[in-house]
Amino acid sequence: MIRVLSVASECVPLVKTGGLADVVGALPAALAAEGVEMRVLLPGYPSVLARLPAAEMVWQADDLFGGPARLVQGAASGLSLFVLDAPHLYDRPGGPYLDEAGQDWPDNDARFAALSWMAARIGAEGAGDWRPDILHCHDWQAGLTPVYLKARAVDLPSVITVHNMAFRGLIPAERLAPLALPAWAFQPEGMEFYGQISALKAGLVYAWKVTTVSPTYARELAMPEFGAGLDGVIRARGADVSGILNGIDEVLWNPATDPHIAPFKEPRGKAKARAALIGEMGLSDGDGPLCVVVSRLSEQKGLDLLLAALPGLIARGGRVALLGAGDSGLEAAWHAEAEANDAVAVRIGYDEALSHRMIAGGDAILVPSRFEPCGLTQLYGLRYGTVPVVARTGGLADTVIDANPAALAAGVATGIQFAPATAEALGAALDRLCDLYADRTAFRKLQRNGMRAPVGWGPSAAAYATLFRELTTRK
């Protein structure tokens, strides 16, 4: 049995802002079948501590970066957890990263340095009667962990998984000493990034291995246009970098048993969900595809491109239902579009149950991202027979088989890809979607192919387990 401590800032079902939480929450059960015992270390947000009323304290200190802290362990929702309970860092309203006004917490550097520091301490000394063989760090919030380990002179294997390179965890250089970071690591070959500390770069440099959430994204990160200034680090790590595709929870996302919808097992069964969604969202019906978007509203996600391509889709009878939140300018633009056109409906915010109803009721799910490390919504779409229309980038390229003439003739297509990420290319892809939708036989074949596509964690869990075994053997 290999013991792995997964270090993350969010985890389903305890706290979630995006796909990172889904991955962190799904991996422990998926890896258990591979002989890996994974426990998760999380910050002590109020929502997390509320799920652990009988937690056992295994460590405490009077001062951890400005206040008292303790480490507790317990179980919730099938997960074995360690939680860093530090009220001065985590006991506050708002979200994990942003305050109630939508601004970054000014002490995010200390909040996630403390999480990394605790991970390194557990790696070095254990917690209670448990000690990990490997530390698995997720994104910049856990990126300082390998540095703290090295500062302790602890030769413990570590892996950092990059879920999104765009978030580099930049920290002012003067915070080096207050965060108990070693001065020797503040150099261009270490965690220094244009005069600042980059928590993500720290992980990329000092972790034993680097993974990303899709093979294509792993290759893209070595390119300047995708590497966010850290492409040179990725190239330097060479064979230490690999891509392991994300999966989805096939129990939670199962159209035959989903409690949020009228369950169905094949494409024709979607009719009730489609009609219900049109009614719920207040859309007029049309003779084109009902397209859904469940996404953060940001430039990365390409939703400005979709706004530009909307007239062509609507002219062909298409409809769009959008659920998401993010950039205030994009929120306002989508609101204005919905107010002006009964072919568009918008819900600002996030609603888990509504996301299930939308993905079940849609004919197609649109993911026009400029870059996408992996993406999960296109996998949910495949599972529910909701045809993905995706940009050819990152995990979108790895999970959707384009309905080109060869793939259609061979009967293997599952969706539509387009490139480059422009409004014109997206518009052409939406025209292809409308053409396919008009051919009911061809469209249902596309839907059935998607519903049979492998989207679960099995292959990915096996790949992680192989990596972990390699690291323990190397040690």
Q: Which residues are annotated binding-site positions for ADP-alpha-D-glucose?
A: 16
Separation CA 164–CA 267 (nearest Å): 33
Please report, for residues 42, 204, 254, 276, the alpha-carbon distance to residue 360 in angstroms, rounded to integers and kept in the order given. Answer: 32, 38, 10, 10
Closest CA relative to residue 8, chosen from 104, 115, 87? 115
Query: 119 Cβ partners below 8 Å, 6+ apart?
Result: 5, 7, 41, 135, 137, 142, 145, 148
Please report, for residues 227, 274, 289, 354, 448, the alpha-carbon distance to residue 270 in angstroms, rounded to integers and kept in the order given. Answer: 40, 6, 13, 15, 12
SS (H, E, C) 299-318: CCCCHHHHHHHHHHHHHCCC
Amino acid code (one letter) for 75: A
Q: Which helix (H) or strand (E) holds 77?
A: none
Please report, for residues 67, 73, 169, 470, the alpha-carbon distance to residue 146 in angstroms, rounded to integers and kept in the order given. Answer: 23, 22, 15, 18
Collapse the DSSP code of 170 into the 3-class scheme (helix H, G, I; strand E, B; otherwise coil) and give the result: strand
3-state helix, strand, coil in the chain (%, to 5): 40, 20, 40
Positive or negative, the Cα torsion across 377, 380, 381, 382?
positive
The sheet carrying 196-198 orders its strands as 170-171, 196-198, 192-193
Query: 121 Cβ partners below 8 Å, 6+ apart?
Result: 59, 148
Q: Which helix (H) or strand (E) holds 376?
A: none
Please report, for residues 23, 392, 400, 426, 462, the alpha-carbon distance to residue 419 in angstroms, rounded to integers and kept in the order given. Answer: 27, 6, 13, 8, 31
φ, ψ for residue 64, nearest 5 deg? -125, 100
Separation CA 469–CA 460 (nearest Å): 14
Q: Where are the beta strands (DSSP E) in 236-314?
A: 241-243, 290-294
Q: Which helix (H) or strand (E) holds 267?
A: none
Closest CA relative to residue 6, chosen from 40, 34, 49, 43? 40
Known binding residues: 16
Question: Would residue 139 be called left, alpha or beta, if left means φ above 0 and alpha means ψ between -120 and 50 degrees?
Answer: left
Token pair of 163 as six digits: 């879920």
